[in-house]
Chains A and B, each alone.
Chain A
Amino acid sequence: MSLDDPMHRVQAHDGQALWRSEFDAAKKRAANFTTLSGGALEPLYGPDAIADLDHERDLSYPGQFPYTRGVHPTMYRGRLWTMRQFAGFGSAKQTNERFKFLLAHGQTGLSTAFDFPTLMGYDSDHEYAIGEVGQVGVAISSLEDMETLMSGIPMGEVSTSMTINGPAPILLAFYIACGENQGVDPKLLRGTVQNDILKEFQAQHAWLVPPEPALRMITDVMGYCSERVPQWNTISISGYHIREAGSTAAQELAFTLANGMEYVKRGLAAGLDIDDFAPRLSFFFDSHLDFFEEIAKFRAARRIWARKMRDVFGAKDPRSWMVRFHTQTAGVSLTAQQPENNIVRVAFQALAAVLGGTQSLHTNSMDETLALPTEKAVKIALRTQQIIAEEIEVAHVADPLGGSYFVEALTNKLEAEAERYFAEIDRRGGVVPCIDSGYIQREIHRSAIAYQAAVERGSKKVVGVNCYTEHDKGPTIDILRIDASVEREQHERLAALRKRRDNARCKRELDAIRDACRSKDNLLERFVAAAHAYCTLGEISDVLRAEFGVYKEPKIL
C-alpha cells in the first residue's frame, strides 16, 4: 500500500481518532503537564501541529539561512563546542593557578569571573569593597593585576571571555594592554567581553553609569575593535541573567534579542556599517531544566535573529545573520539540599545545550548554591561535558531533533511569543524606556513570583526540596573559602602601585578621559592609554561617574 493510497489515509485518520478516544478515556496522573515556563502542552504532537512549517523558509540546512538547524554546515563533526568553565576567585595569582589547572584538564577556553568591586568599577581598597574583595570572582584593579592573571598563559593562543559589563571597556583595555606587554598584537587577541549593559539594568544589576552614556561606550568598543581587535567578540548579548532573575524561556529569548536589536540600532546611529560590527556580536543563553523547551529556544533564537538582521536591518554578510552563542547551565536550578543531585541536573541541561547547537558551554558545579566551586566539583562539571562529547554519541548529527513535531511546534511557539514581546516593547517606546519605566524588570519579577508560588504549592516538583526530601543534616560536601588575607594583600599591592607609577602621567591620562567624555572621541582608545600608565579601574570609573552620573534604579516593588 502506497502512502497515497486512500485506504492508508483512512487508517491514519482512524488511528488518530482511536488514540484520542483511548487517551481521553484513560486515567491520567494528577500532575501539571506544562512547560517549565508554564505553557500548556498537548499530550502528543503530530503533523497538524506544524502544518504551516515550510522546510526551506523555516528550517533549511545547517550553515544556511535562517540557521534554525545550526550555524555551521558540519556542526560538531567540524569542531566540538568550546568547553569553557567560568572561573575566578581571590587574587589574580589564585585565579591564574585555577586557569592553568583547567587548561591542564582539557578545557579549551578561559572565562573570567570578577568580584563585585571590579564589576561595579571600584578598586579593592574602596570603602564599598569591604568584605567583598575576591569573594565571588577575582579582584582586578589595574593592569598590574591583569598581568598577574594572564602570567604564563599565551594570550595570542587562548581565547578569553570576561564577564563584565559596566566597566567592560576598561577591563578590555587592561587586557589589550596586557597582551601588548606580552608582545601580542591586538589583532591576534581572541575572546569575548560581556559588555551587555541593557540586561544589567534589567536583571543582573552591575552597572557603572546610566543607559545612554553606557551605550555610547559600547559603540566606542564596537568601533575600536572592528578596526584594531578584529577577532574580539565585542558584546555577549546575554539572556542568562534575565532567566536567572526569574524570567520564562520566552521572556529570556525576547528580551535578549530585543537588547541585541537595540545595540544594532545604536551602532547604526553611530555611523558604523552593520556588516563591520554585527559579525562580532555573540550571545549567551541559560540552559534550564525543561529539556525540550530549551532546545526549542536555542533554535528559535537563531531563526529570529537571522530574519531580523537580514530582512529588517538589511545586513548583507551572512556572519551578521548568525547567532553564535555560549550556554551556561541554570545556576538557579541547583539545590542546596542533597547537592550531589545537582550533577545530574547539570548533565541534562548541558545535553540540551548541545542538542540545541551551542558554540561553547559552561557546566555548573554541584556546590554552587553554597559557595564558589572547589577544584573537585569543577572537575566533575568539566568531565560531564567530556562524557557528552566523547561517550554518548550525540555530537555526530546536526540538529538531531529537527523535524520532531513537538520540538518544531515549540520552536514556532517561542518565536511567536518573542514577536509579541517585540511589539509590546516597540509600543512602549523601545528598550531603554522599558527599563526606565521598570516594565521589563516587572515582567521578570512576575515570572519569578509565579515560579516560587508553584514550587511552594507543590505543582512544580523539586527533588530534595518539595519531594523526596531527607531530614536536613546540612550539606556534607567541602566548600571553597576565600581567605581574608586576599583583601589585605590587595590593599598593599594597590598602595605600592600608586607609589611606584608615574602619577603625573596618570593624571594626564585621566584628564584625557574626561575630555573624551565631553567629545565624541573613542573612549576605549583613551582607556588603553590609561591602562598602560597603570591608572586603576576605580580612578577611571570615578571620572566616568563624575562626567556621566550614576544610575538610580526605578522602584518596581
Chain B
Amino acid sequence: MQRKIRVLIGKPGLDGHDRGAKTVASALRDFGMEVIYTGLHQTPEAIAEVAAQEDVDVVGLSILSGAHMALFPRVRAALEKRGMGHVLLTGGGIIPQDDMKALEDAGYTKLFGPGTPTEEIAKWITAQMEVRWQKEGASS
C-alpha cells in the first residue's frame, strides 16, 4: 500500500444531523485514513474548495435532509470546476433506494444507507483506491 488515503467528509446544505458523518469520519481514521471533516452547513462550493486545498482522494457526503438529488450534482460540478473531477465521490444518509440507484447510475458511485457497518465503507474505499492507484501506476 502506498500513502494514506485522504478523505474529506462533508455536510452540504442546512442539515444538522452529524452523528453519521462524525461516526464514519472517526471510523475511517481508525482504519488508517487521513480524514478531514468540514463541519456543518457547508455550500457545495466550500466543500469543493477544501477538497482541492487538501488534495483529497475521496469526498464522502452525509445528507439526511432529502436534498441529495440537488446536492450530489452540485458538489460534483464544483469539484470539476476546480480540476478535482477525479475524486472518488460517495456518501450516505436518509436516501430512498430509487434515488440511490439514480445517483449511482448517474456516476456518483456507491452510496451507503442506514445500518451499514463502517468497516464495509472503509473496505470499499480502500478497494476503489487500490484499483485507481494501480491504473495510475501502470500508466505512468
Contact = CB atoms under 8 A, between A and B. Distances in A.
A475 B100 CA distance: 12
Contacts of A445: 22, 26
A370 interface: yes
Nearest to B9: A557
A135 B39 contact: no
A555 interface: yes
Contacts of B16: 116, 119, 200, 204-206
A246 B21 CA distance: 12
A371 B22 contact: no
Nearest to A127: B43
B37 A449 contact: no
Interface residues of A, number: 44
Given A116-B13, A205-B40, A445-B22, A135 B96 contact: no
A116 B14 contact: yes
Nearest to B72: A131
B26 A136 contact: no
A465 B120 CA distance: 13
Contact of B14 (A128, A246, A482): A128
Which range holds the interface residue count of chain B?
A: 20 to 34
Contact of A557 (B25, B94, B96, B118): B25
Contacts of B94: 369-371
A131 B115 contact: no
Interface in B54-96: 64-67, 69-71, 74, 94, 96
A456 B118 contact: yes
B115 A335 contact: yes
Interface in A322-365: 332, 335-337
User: Which interface residue of A131, A132, A372, A479 has the most chain B CB atoms within 10 A?
Assistant: A131
Interface of B: 13-19, 22-23, 25-27, 37, 39-41, 43, 64-67, 69-71, 74, 94, 96-97, 113-115, 117-119
Interface of A: 116-117, 119-120, 122, 128-132, 135-136, 200, 204-206, 244-246, 332, 335-337, 369-372, 445, 448-449, 452, 455-456, 462, 465, 474-475, 479, 481-482, 553, 555-557
Pairs A-B, 9 closest by C-beta atoms: A131-B70, A205-B16, A135-B66, A116-B14, A131-B67, A336-B114, A132-B67, A465-B115, A474-B97
